[in-house]
């Protein structure tokens, strides 16, 4: 199954995995049209019960080399006050997909492209990929979550180094500091990303959803509040059929043999 969201974004579903594809040659600049299309694709992918996991992909040449600077150049302060909020909302839609997500990064993931990749649960990068937040070189700062998500991934000092300098981060360093989670050979980034999330197809979807929500929401609050969120979500899973199936299978057959229904 394949759906199009305007000219440059599509969602293709194969064997339980949805691939949100950006295709705007040559460098996949993320203009307002693409931002809105990504939001719509993310909402649909989250709501589609046939999709167990999602890959965000820009092709084997480039993930996304940033925002559309020509479009942004014409905007003033009052224009950007409303647009910047909407930009964050569009990217947050990817982060809120209640399923495992992975960014498949080839070529460049810069500026908005890096920010988009960081909305995913995991990042797979080609071994020759480059990531970075070069907004400082334009006289601005990241505005689609870069200052917040990067610091949470790699720590505040390393985030400041990357953002203050605007330098490119090669794939090896990105892996070392935790900006990416796995490297792939050039040309193999999509297959590597698919392999990373394929084990979640047929998994207990409500438990996976709860685990993601507990971790993501817990990172935003103090420990005691995070534990309360975990307790609430943990208890709620006892209303699911998958919980009953999983525990019965464990008692009768041992671990790892349950067949879940996503109910």
Rounded alpha-carbon distances, angstroms, from residue 229 to 18, 62, 92, 204, 258: 28, 38, 20, 19, 26
What tokens were used for 20? 């949100």
Q: Where do we find the tokens 């297959």? A: 191
Nearest to 89 by CA among 40, 125, 153, 132: 40
In the set 115, 173, 230, 252, the catalytic residue is 115
Q: Which residues touch 202 (CB under 8 Å, ≥6 apart)?
A: 16, 52, 259, 260
What tokens were used for 5? 């969201």
Q: Which residues touch 225 (CB under 8 Å, ≥6 apart)?
A: 218
Q: Active-site residue 261, yes or no?
A: no
- Return d(Cα 211, Cα 216) in angstroms, integer: 9
- Return d(Cα 153, Cα 156) in angstroms, integer: 9
22, 64 Cβ separation under 8 angstroms: yes
The residues pairing with 67 across neighbouring beta strands, listed in sequence order, are 30
Q: Active-site residue 36, yes or no?
A: no
For residue 240, whether the previous peptide bond is cis, meaning omega lies within 30 degrees of 0, is: no
Go through the chain and tell me how many residues it has.
263
What tokens were used for 73? 């150049």
In the set 135, 173, 191, 230, the catalytic residue is 135
Catalytic residue list: 115, 135
């Amino acid at each position: 199954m394949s759906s199009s969201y305007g000219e440059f974004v599509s969602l293709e579903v194969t064997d339980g995995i949805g691939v949100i594809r950006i295709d705007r040659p040559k460098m996949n600049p993320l203009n307002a049209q693409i931002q809105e299309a990504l939001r719509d694709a993310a909402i649909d992918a989250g709501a589609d019960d046939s999709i167990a996991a999602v890959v965000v992909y820009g092709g084997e040449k480039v993930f996304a080399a940033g925002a559309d600077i020509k479009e942004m150049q014409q905007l003033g302060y009052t224009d950007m006050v409303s647009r910047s909020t909407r930009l964050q909302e569009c990217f947050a839609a990817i982060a809120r997909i209640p399923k495992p997500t992975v960014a498949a990064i080839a070529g460049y993931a810069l500026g908005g492209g890096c920010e988009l990749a960081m909305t995913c649960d995991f990042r797979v990068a080609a071994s020759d990929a480059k990531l970075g937040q070069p907004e400082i070189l334009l006289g601005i700062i990241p505005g689609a979550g870069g200052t917040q998500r990067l610091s949470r991934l790699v720590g505040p000092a390393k985030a400041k180094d990357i953002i203050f300098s605007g330098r490119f981060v090669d794939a090896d360093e990105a892996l070392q500091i935790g900006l990416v989670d796995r490297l792939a050979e050039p040309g193999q980034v999509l297959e590597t990303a698919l392999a990373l999330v394929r084990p979640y197809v047929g998994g207990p979807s409500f438990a996976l959803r709860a685990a993601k929500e507990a971790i993501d929401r817990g990172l935003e609050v103090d420990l005691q509040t995070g534990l309360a969120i975990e307790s609430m979500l943990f208890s709620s899973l006892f209303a699911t059929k998958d919980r009953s199936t999983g525990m019965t299978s464990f008692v009768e057959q041992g671990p790892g043999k349950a067949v879940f229904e996503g109910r």
